[in-house]
């Protein structure tokens, strides 16, 4: 089992969204993720989630894993989950995983547990 966590100031993401708009969102989110994460708190949570996932996998965001290799979604209850692209799954071989995202007090945080 591997655990990853990340925290980010929502204000930081808000500044980037105001400055770069959709181009910033497209840098790390898919079209479906952009549709789901409409509020800046949710966008910050998705950023933290992708960073936490990369930390749990031990590779960070880079050559072995890009932001677009990670797909964040929500189930019918609104609970977040993620999956990797087929190519990334071949490399990282995740057997099971769990994701939690929260935001409060100007921060968004994500925690992930991954079994490979």
* 3-state secondary structure at position 26: helix
Concerning whether 55 is annotated as a catalytic residue, the answer is: yes
Catalytic position from the list 25, 50, 55, 92: 55
C-alpha distances in Å from residue 79, one per residue of 16, 59, 67, 73, 89: 26, 25, 20, 8, 21
Catalytic position from the list 25, 50, 92, 103: 103
Concerning whether 76 is annotated as a catalytic residue, the answer is: no
What are the residue numbers of the active site?
55, 103
């Amino acid at each position: 089992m591997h655990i990853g966590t990340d925290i980010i100031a929502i204000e930081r993401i808000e500044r980037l969204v105001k400055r770069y708009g959709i181009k910033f969102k497209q840098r790390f989110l898919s079209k479906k993720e952009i549709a789901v994460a409409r509020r800046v708190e949710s966008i910050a949570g998705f950023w933290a989630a992708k960073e936490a996932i990369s930390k749990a996998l031990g590779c960070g965001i880079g050559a072995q894993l890009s932001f677009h290799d990670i797909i964040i979604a929500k189930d019918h209850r609104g609970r977040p989950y993620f999956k990797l692209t087929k190519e990334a799954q071949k490399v990282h071989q995740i057997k099971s995983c769990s994701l939690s995202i929260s935001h409060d007090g100007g921060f968004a945080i994500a925690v992930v547990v991954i079994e490979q």
